[in-house]
Structure formats: C-alpha cells, structure tokens
Amino acid sequence: MTASRALPDRVRRVQAEMAERGIDATLLFKPENSFLLTGFNPIIYSHPVVAIVPRTGEPIMLVHALRDDHGRASAFVNDIRLYGAWSDKVTMGPNWLDALGAILGELGVREGTLAVEEDFMPVARQRQIAGHLPSATFVDASHFIDHVRLIKDADQIAMARIAARIADTGMDEAVRRVALGVSEREIALQSMHVMNQLWSSDYPDVEVADFGTLEGGAQNGLWTWALAGDRMFFNCDNPTQRQPRRGEAVSVFIWTNANGIHAENERTIAFGPLPDAHRRALDTILDIRETLRPMMKPGTRYAELFLATKAGLEKAGYGKNIPGRIGHGIGLGAHEHSSLDARSELVLEPGMLFTLEPNLRVPGTGATQISDTILITEGGCEYLTQSRGGYIEV
C-alpha cells in the first residue's frame, strides 16, 4: 500500500466492531457509508457502489465499469473491482450480484456471517442478496456503522473546518442581503454565490459534491435558504420572492460540505427592531446557549444538554413550546442519526461533531433559528462555525 493510500482509522474501528460481533464481512451500499470506507463518491448512484469490508485486511470497492477511472482517482482503497460493461474495461461479469458473490468466495466468507444496512437497504435488494447467498447468515450493520460515524477522524475534522469557513462566508453575505431588504430568493442566491467563489479561489482540491441516489445526484452541496416573517414556522422551504417587513425576523439556513463532510450555520436576523415578545424569545434562546457552552465537553450526556434547555425554557415561561430536540449529529450527513434529546443515551466524546440549535416556535409571537457546528475536544468544545452570533439586527 502506498503512503497516499493509507487507510484511515475508521476502517480499523469498523473491523473492531465486526470482530466483537463475529461478523466476517460487512457490505455497505448506502452512499455515505460506502464513501466512509472507500473515499469514493460517484455523485450519482445509478449503479450500486459496494464497500466490502472483511474482518481483517483492506476493504474492497465494487463499482460499475462506467465509474472505474473516477473511482481509481478518488478512492483510498487499492482493491477496486468492476462489474457491467463499458468500453474496453475488464470486469468480473455483467452484474454486481455475481461479482459480489465471487469476491465473498475469494475471501472465504460466502457462507459466513455478513452484515448489511437493514435501515437503508430495500427489502427487494435484501432478498436478492439472501437468495444469491443462501448459506450465509445476515445481521444488521446499521447501528455499529452509525456508532463509528459518531467519532470523526483527523481528515474528516479538517474538512469540517473548511465546510464551516465556507458556511461563515455565506452567512456574512446573507446578513448583508437581509439589511438591503431583498427577497428570500435573493438572499439565498447571493449567499451561495460568495460560498462558491470562496470554494473556487481557496480550495481547488476540495470537492463539494453531496451524496446522490439511484435517480439523481448533487454535484454542488453549498446550500442557503431563507424564510422571512411567518414563513419561519415552515422550518424548511424553498426560498420565495417574499421580502422581510420591518419588525420581522429572517431565518437563514446554510449547509455546506467539503469532501463529503458537512457543516451547518443558521442565524435569526432581525430586520429592524423586533416586537418585545419576539425579542424576549430570541434573548431567551441566546441565554440558554451560553448556559450550555461549558457543559459541552467529554463526559456530558446528550440528554443533560436537552434537559438544561428544557429547564431554561420552562423558567422563562415557554413550557408549552419545548422543541423535540436541540441539535443533531453532523458529518457525512447534514443530519446524522444522533439526536440531542431527552431519550438519548449518548455521551459526548472527543471527535464528535454535532449542531447546537435550541430554538423556539411561539405561535402569534415569532420563531428563532440559530445553529452552530461544534466539535468536542479533549478539553471541551470548539465552535467550527464562527460568523457573527448573538442578537443580529440590521
């Protein structure tokens, strides 16, 4: 293996989980997960990309011959196998299922214990694989893969910093546009424009493609959207030509990614002074966020952060407006599986990346939307998104 193709630590961590569970090989089809263990994002998954992870040794990547050149230029794995037909490419056969069976035979695990992503894989595909490998035993990989994804490797943290810097640039521009009183759509377009300019000028070797599906792809994952006034209650919607009115607030949401790793930056921007009731709700959230800051360190339970938020909201008189959660995991997904809520048993560890977004939705009063991307460090936490915070009025 060449130095440039050294395997990241997450491969070892997946294999440690497999050894503990007696799993011989893990088969990953979910785009984020196959990327996690191979480093290849084809953008559109019109043909399956399969990461085959044996209990020991290097992962194998199985891709359609159409993706051969792209895959070899992008992946950190050395063993890349092809299926299908494309030009003069030499493949293992016409379809991925036969090729997968042959690879598992080579590994000596065709009749072993195989892990698949039951929370992602369609029932039809599970039946396909089980029918093709009738002597294998199948178990679910979803939980332990999600667990591995909680802790970010050094290369992923470096990309999160880049994604956060791009998001900060987009937010700075969005604030300037809100000050001009332009439409939601204009805010979003100009914010995305400056993010793309920064990407082009400062990060020539970074991809910002998001993960696709069997029916489409997203070659640019630098997103901004804005919701003005009562549209803040929609939480997520395509920007319109609606312009903010004096005394209203605007929610600006930004998602970015760098080489597959996401960052999130969200702010509530007052367009002129807010009514007292709305300002009080916003100040309450800002105070709670400061209360949570020293708690965000190794050893704190997710649930503790939520319960502290709940107590703060109840004390301020917002007991009827408690949100369902106050943040979520982030990384390969803009919304990864972990949720900062009262039910979570997760404990903060160094290398975890999540969003902090306690917010209020008070009918008849107004809404708030503030979120930062935060890294847990050995001694506490680091806010990766650093654009202007606090009360923002323009």
Residue 214 has what pLDDT? 83
Q: How far apart are CA 371 and CA 360, in angstroms?
A: 12
Residue 307: which of 288, 290, 294 has the closest Cα? 288
CB atoms within 10 A of CB 320: 9
- Half-sphere exposure (Cβ direction) of 312: Cα atoms closer than 13 Å: 23
- Which residues, other chains included, contact 214 with Cβ-Cβ below 8 Å and sequence gap of 6+? 45, 46
**What's the predicted TM-score (pTM) here?**
0.95
Residue 1 has what pLDDT? 36
> Would you put residue 4 in left (φ > 0), alpha (ψ -120 to 50) or beta?
alpha
For every residue of 69-138, DSSP letters joined together read: HHHHHH-S-SEEEEES--TT---S-SSHHHHHHHHHHHHT-TTSEEEE-TTTS-HHHHHHHHHHSTT-EE
Residues 89-118 pLDDT 10s: 999 999 999 999 999 999 999 999 999 999
Residues 308-324 pLDDT 10s: 999 999 999 999 999 99
Exposure string for 278-311, b = 16+ CB within 10 A, e = fewer: bbbbbebbbebbeebeeebebebebbbbbebbbe
Q: Which CATH superfamily is domain 151-393 in?
A: Creatinase/methionine aminopeptidase superfamily (3.90.230.10)
User: In what helix (H) or strand (E) does residue 307 lie, and over which residues does it extend?
Assistant: helix 302-315
CA dihedral 324, 330, 333, 335 (to 10 degrees): 10
Q: How far apart are CA 61 and CA 39, in angstroms?
A: 10
* pLDDT, tens digit only, all 394 positions of the chain: 334 468 999 999 999 999 999 999 999 999 999 999 999 999 999 999 999 999 999 999 999 999 999 999 999 999 999 999 999 999 999 999 999 999 999 999 999 999 999 999 999 999 999 999 999 999 999 999 999 999 999 999 999 999 999 999 999 999 999 999 999 999 999 999 999 999 999 999 999 999 998 888 999 999 999 999 999 999 999 999 999 999 999 999 999 999 999 999 999 999 999 999 999 999 999 999 999 999 999 999 999 999 999 999 999 999 999 999 999 999 999 999 899 999 999 999 999 999 999 999 999 999 999 999 999 999 999 999 999 999 999 9
Residue 387 has what pLDDT? 98
- Which residues, other chains included, contact 372 with Cβ-Cβ below 8 Å and sequence gap of 6+? 264, 265, 355, 356, 357, 383, 384, 385, 389
Residue 273 has what pLDDT? 98
Return the domain boundaries, the chain.
Answer: 3-149, 151-393
Residue 116 has what pLDDT? 98
Q: How far apart are CA 61 and CA 7, in angstroms?
A: 13
Residue 6 has what pLDDT? 81
Structure tokens at 392: 């923002």
Evaluate whether 3-149 and 151-393 have a shared fold.
Answer: no
Q: Are 261 and 334 in contact (CB under 8 A)?
A: no
CATH numeric code, 3-149: 3.40.350.10
Residue 3 has what pLDDT? 43
- Which residues, other chains included, contact 14 with Cβ-Cβ below 8 Å and sequence gap of 6+? 26, 37, 53, 144, 145, 148
